[in-house]
Amino acid sequence: MDRNSETELIPEDIDRSLTRAGRLLVYSLWIQSQLSDLIILNRNKEIINDFNNNPIIPEILQKERFIFWEKNFKEVKEIFEEELADLLTEQAKVDLNTIYYLRNAISHSNVSVGRKYLLYKPNNEKIMTSIKEIMHISNKDEVGANPDLIKIDYSKDSNYINNSSLIKRFDEIFLKKVCQTMGILHERVR
């Protein structure tokens, strides 16, 4: 079955929401990969010149990547925050936490091709509040009689644009600046 036949089975607004959620999840994984590379390069500054100028990835970076691929986003985030603390601005800390909560909300949601939103139940009130702020969710978006559930609806352009813009800003402004400070070509990490 070709792609057009598959999407015709799913209403357009549902397909749009699920596709956008998937895209945001992949973007968050991409951010995690960049964080991992920056940690590894920070620990192995002697390979930065080779990394910048050679299309072949240095062996130590390859080996360390395999180790980081096994770590979850929270672990990588915490290592990055600890080891590159002097490069973190307040806005970058907020953005990184937002990407972390966003990634977890999407990846731990209940998904159905029969509705245009994902359902997410945060572990505690602090996370609930953070997710609502991050995703610009008002109380009207909560699910009926269960205020512990959150509807994540990316069929709404504003929800998707807000979250994708945040990831774009974190990459294009903050991570680019970190790379420049460390003497790393950003396009090589990206």
60-106 residue pLDDT tens: 999 999 999 999 999 999 999 999 999 999 999 999 999 999 999 99
Residue 160 has pLDDT above 80, yes or no: yes
- Domain range for 76: 3-189
pLDDT of amino acid 133: 78
Residue 41 has pLDDT above 80, yes or no: yes
- State mean pLDDT over 167-190: 97
- Structure confidence at residue 143 as a pLDDT band (50, 70, 90): low
Q: How far apart are CA 94 and CA 20, in angstroms?
A: 22
pTM, full prediction: 0.89
Three-state secondary-structure class, residue 159: helix
- Structure confidence at residue 5 as a pLDDT band (50, 70, 90): low
pLDDT of amino acid 48: 98
Distances in whole angstroms, Cα of residue 51 to Cα of each of 12, 67, 162: 43, 18, 33
| Nearest partner of 173 among 93, 92, 111, judged by Cα | 92
Structure tokens at 44: 């192995």
Residue 1 has pLDDT above 50, yes or no: no
Split into its structural domains, the chain has a count of 1
Mean pLDDT, the chain, rounded, equals: 90
- State mean pLDDT over 30-40: 98
